[in-house]
Amino acid sequence: MIPVGLVFIIILPVLIFGATPSWVMPVVEAVAFALCLAAVIGRRGEGPAVFREGAPVAVPALFFVLVVLVQVGFGFSINVYDSVVLLLQVLACLGIFFTILWYRPRDAADRRRVPRFVYALLWTVFGLALVNSVLFFFQKAAGTALQGFDIGSVRGAVAGTFRSPNSFSQFLEMAVPLAMGLLVARYGDTSQLAGSTLLREKGHRSKHRRGGTTSKTLLTGFGIVIIICALLFSLCRGGFVTLPITMLMLLMFMGVAYRLRDRRTLMLYGGVLGAAFLYVLWLGIGPIIDEALTLFKPQLREFTYGDAIRVIGDFPLLGVGLNNWPHIILQYDSIGSQTWIPRIAYNDTLQIISETGFAGFACAAAFVGVLYLRAIRALRRGGDGERQGIILGGITAMTAALIHAQFDYFFYLPANAVVFAVIAGVVYRLSSDSN
């Protein structure tokens, strides 16, 4: 039941407008807490060893929660209710992360290097991205919302199942590298892994790893092409910046894990990107270029960043309270509320420091830092090709999220936070020596 619950947690916030309706996250929170409890109970016979597996990330996560509790309990939070609401969402995402880490399938046949439930989670993310992309192109062709999907957006144009093209693009930015990792894991030539002990194994499973079937490779690759095109035609400027950087990062991480003479893996990577570029040219690249040029125009967000720095200067240690940015920023508003009401900082790093101070930010940075150290060590160590491919895609998807978060709101959208927690949990689980 735990894998089914995790799939449900992924699907619900993505399909329900990015989880912007107020009732969605309480449902996700309740399910996440129940799943985490079930995962712990399922391993109750192992004692404290269960908790030691996640100790390196559990410590900074625990300290972050303590920072917020101090804010709430000692009057540092401007609005206690808003802080508690977002704290519950943070705890739900941590519950998702640790559920993936602690869950052990009862079926001995599923205790493989990459359990089947991990593939179920990742293919669910890929499937949602593909469905959203296809729906987006139908919406573009129709020039309006499709029946049953009239959800509106800030630009007057629909974007899959998301209210905003920006939110739609952010989700796809994580899905693209994740799908590339799945493609490499399932259909790439993993016999050239640096340090691999699986050199040219015999048998059907090894052959499937090296080549797979041409039809599955083409279908998966074509799906990634569709997602990339939808991302670009959403005309989200953040996507224009994040996508090329992410693809370069994917190549860098690939260089850590794979020898550059692995021609099949590089052909998959180059072939998908080349096909996406040609498809975008065929569809018409003019609107993308026009929107990209606006990146060089002055932005009101620069003033918001300045205001955030002023807030941080006044509340450096513990901030103004988690989720309390809207309650403080109008006191620093340098633009004027008549023309611009910055409900969000459009930079998650500045906003989290403003709300939780450097104490909270240090905890969040330590959590992410441990994830990256584990993943990079696992890539350098080599080993099972499927595991390496998924770690490759997952760590690059996390990188995409962290890049975009520097010039937009990202983790404050519940759907993004949930999907990021799922990917982070998978990466940490597969990177762990005990798994």
Q: pLDDT tens, position by position, for the chain (435 residues)? A: 899 999 999 999 998 877 778 888 999 999 999 999 998 888 877 767 777 778 899 999 999 999 999 999 999 999 999 999 999 999 999 999 999 999 988 765 555 678 889 999 999 999 999 999 999 988 887 765 544 444 444 344 457 888 888 889 999 999 999 999 988 887 765 444 444 444 344 444 444 444 446 788 888 999 999 999 999 999 898 899 999 999 999 888 887 775 434 677 788 888 899 998 998 888 888 888 888 887 767 677 788 888 899 999 999 999 999 999 988 888 886 665 544 556 788 899 999 999 999 999 999 999 999 999 999 998 888 777 788 889 999 999 999 999 999 988 899 999 999 999 999 999 999 998 544
State both tokens at 106. Answer: 């009862």
Q: Are 130 and 227 in contact (CB under 8 A)?
A: yes
Global pTM reads 0.90
Q: What angle do CA 420, 421, 426 make, to 5 degrees?
A: 100
